[in-house]
Amino acid sequence: MGKRKEWILNILGILIVCAFLFPVYWMIITAFKSQSEIFQTPPTFWPKDFQIDSFISIFQDNVGQYFLNSLIIAGVSTIIVLLLAVPSAYGLARFNMKGKKSMILLFLVTQMLPATVVLTPLFLLFNKFSMLNTFWGPILSTATLGIPFSVLILRTFFIGIPKEIEEAAIIDGCGRVKAFIRVIIPISMPSIVVCGAVSFFFAWGDLIYSITFNRNQELWPLTAGINNAIGRYGIEWNDLMAFATISVLPVIIIFILLQKHLIKGLVSGSIK
């Protein structure tokens, strides 16, 4: 009975995974189909005429620059998030300070705010400091929303780390900062990787901040390029799917490379 239940759960899990991955598969194979085959009835689940014209077309349409822009925005935003969120979460987890509960509540509230609410204040602020039509607008915007999420996640993890570990490091000659860098951060690496990956994915998928703060198309990320392509290509779905395929490749690659850390970081809090 136990093995039968295990088989049923495994099959159910495979079916759920297939259901979630099918849209991604359909997007990728559509990019390699001809325009006529896309609308063929019944639909084909593998391209009859395997072609790469759509990829050639979008690479001639400045997609390389869009990709580089997305990489710069997401990469710098993630670095800023981790540099600020990791020590902030540690401080909230380890030290008693006045207004601590209010700060945590403020972080929670910022997670509930939609992007459109903070769009106008940020636009006015960036305009005042001459940050419009630069990378800093979308970088700081996505980092501002990524920091509260990372602080809340990491704070929970830091609370679960026994204080005796730090005390032992301090007895051995480490100061508070040195113990944090050499002991706590290595222990917390799975959770830090999770927060870094989520922050990167959030910044990589940003559209509204980039097109609001940047009117210069040379600074647009991939998402803005896709949005612009929809208006120009109309119903040329193979070109649009090629654009989308290029945009999800980094996400897939990062997840494959970091899957062990991501899974360990996601479940570590519940295990502790």
Residue 72: per-residue pLDDT: 93
Q: Are residues 192 and 251 in the same domain?
A: yes
Q: Are residues 47 and 67 in the same domain?
A: no
Domain match, 252 and 127 both? yes
Q: What is the pLDDT of residue 81?
A: 93
Residues 38 and 70 in one domain: no
In a domain, 217, yes or no: yes
pTM: 0.81
Q: Are 259 and 251 in contact (CB under 8 A)?
A: no
Same domain for 250 and 206:
yes
In the chain, the amino acid numbered 268 is: S
Domain ranges, residue 28: 1-51
pLDDT attached to residue 74:
92
Q: Is 46 helix (H, G, I), strand (E, B) or coil?
A: coil
State whether 180 and 265 are in the same domain. Answer: yes
118 and 6 in one domain?
A: no
How far, rounded to the nearest angstrom, does the alpha carbon of residue 52 sit from its chain's CA centroid? 28
Whether residue 185 is contained in a domain is answered as yes
Within a domain: 56: no
Q: Any residues with CB less than 8 A from the CB of 81 and at least 6 apart, and which?
A: 143, 146, 147, 150, 195, 196, 199
Residue 265 and residue 205 share a domain: yes
Outline where the chain has alpha helix (H).
2-31, 35-38, 53-59, 63-94, 100-112, 115-128, 136-160, 163-171, 176-179, 185-187, 189-204, 208-213, 222-233, 237-271
Phi, psi of 204 (to 5 degrees): -65, -35
Q: Classify residue 180 by its DSSP letter.
A: I
- Whether 57 maps to a domain, the answer reads no
64, 29, 67: which is closest to 48 by C-alpha?
29
Token pair 């897939």: residue: 252
Write down the H helix ranges in 95-172: 100-112, 115-128, 136-160, 163-171
Give the domain CATH number at 195: 1.10.3720.10
Query: Do 215 and 251 fall into the same domain?
Result: yes
Same domain? For 174 and 119 the reply is yes
How would DSSP label each residue in 250-264?
Answer: HHHHHHHHHHHHHHH
Q: What is the pLDDT of residue 83?
A: 93
Residue 32: inside a domain, yes or no?
Answer: yes
Query: Is the peptide bond preceding residue 42 cis, with omega within 30 degrees of 0?
Result: yes
Q: Would you state the pLDDT for residue 73?
A: 93
Let me know whether 117 and 166 are in one domain: yes
128 & 233 share domain: yes
Residues 6+ apart with CB under 8 A from 101: none
Is 38 inside any structural domain? Answer: yes
Name every residue whose Cβ is closer than 8 Å to that of residue 216 and which is 6 or more positions away in sequence: 133
Low-confidence ranges of the chain (pLDDT < 70): 1-2, 230-235, 259-272
Q: Write the pLDDT tens digit of every residue in 28-45.
A: 888 888 777 777 778 878
Angle (CA) 113 115 240, round 5°: 140
Number of domains comprising the chain? 2
**Residue 270's pLDDT is what?**
43
